[in-house]
Amino acid sequence: MKIGLFGHGNMGTEIERLINESGKHQIVTVEESDVVIDFTSPEIVLENIKKAASLGKNMVVGTTGWYEHLKEVEKIVEESGAGLIYAQNFSVGANIFFQMIANAAKLFNKFDGYDVYGLEIHHKSKKDSPSGTALRIAREINGLQFTSVRAGRNPGFHQVVFDSEADSITLSHQAHNRSGFAAGALLATEFIEGKKGLYTFDELFKGEK
């Protein structure tokens, strides 16, 4: 498959490395591509989506912090006849973590006496706060309050604590590097090729075709 990249920062570099190692795909210009991957910034991702759609290119969007434009993006994708898949987090491990959080929340909702809070840490250059991953976790747990830290080089840490007078239960996900995000983005690229419409990574993760 021919893959174009919007953005060649840390994530773009990691995606290119995995593509070169795999030998399955090749990096080309956006105009020549079968699918475009975007890991840029919230300020420019909407314009990139419009450009890809105008070229009839299917797209994987790993950039977060733009979801207030979701309805607009859905319309753009529908009118162009292209396909787009997005996620708050493309890491397979993180998506397992989402399911763990959702299941834990259902259990704790049956009992009184537990408060819940969250902590997320990302590198100092990450622009959106709270992270898209934190917002996704918050969707699974109504009333969850997150503390966000932007410092150092951490590629992504998320922790949820269920706390009571009797005990505390802590669930956390720590990304060691960006390879998990990049690998998931490539899975999403293979999923979205030839499809039309708007998809989330959940649909790929559940094995829906």
> What is the residue-level pLDDT of the chain in tens, covering all 209 positions?
999 999 888 899 999 999 999 889 999 999 999 999 999 999 999 999 999 999 999 999 999 999 999 999 999 999 999 999 999 999 999 999 999 999 999 999 999 999 999 999 999 999 889 999 999 999 999 879 899 999 999 999 999 999 999 999 999 999 999 999 999 999 999 999 999 999 999 888 675 44
Report the CATH fold assignment for 2-90+179-205: Rossmann fold (3.40.50)
Q: How many CA atoms lie within 13 A of 44 on its CB side?
A: 7
Do 145 and 118 form a contact (C-beta atoms < 8 A)? yes
- Which residues are known to be catalytic? 122, 126
Tell me how far apart the alpha carbons of residues 73 and 149 are, in angstroms, rounded to a whole number.
Answer: 29
Reported residue count of the chain is 209
- Fold of domain 92-174: Dihydrodipicolinate Reductase; domain 2 (3.30.360)
Q: Where are the domains of the chain?
A: 2-90+179-205, 92-174
Query: Is the entire prediction scored with pTM above 0.75?
Result: yes
The confidence score (pLDDT) of residue 208 equals 46
38 closest CA partner among 25, 26, 28, 52: 52
Strands of the 145-150 sheet, one edge to the other: 145-150, 115-122, 157-163, 168-174
Q: Identify the helix (H) or strand (E) that includes residue 35.
A: strand 35-38
What is the reported pLDDT for 147?
Answer: 96
CB 198 within 8 A of CB 73: yes
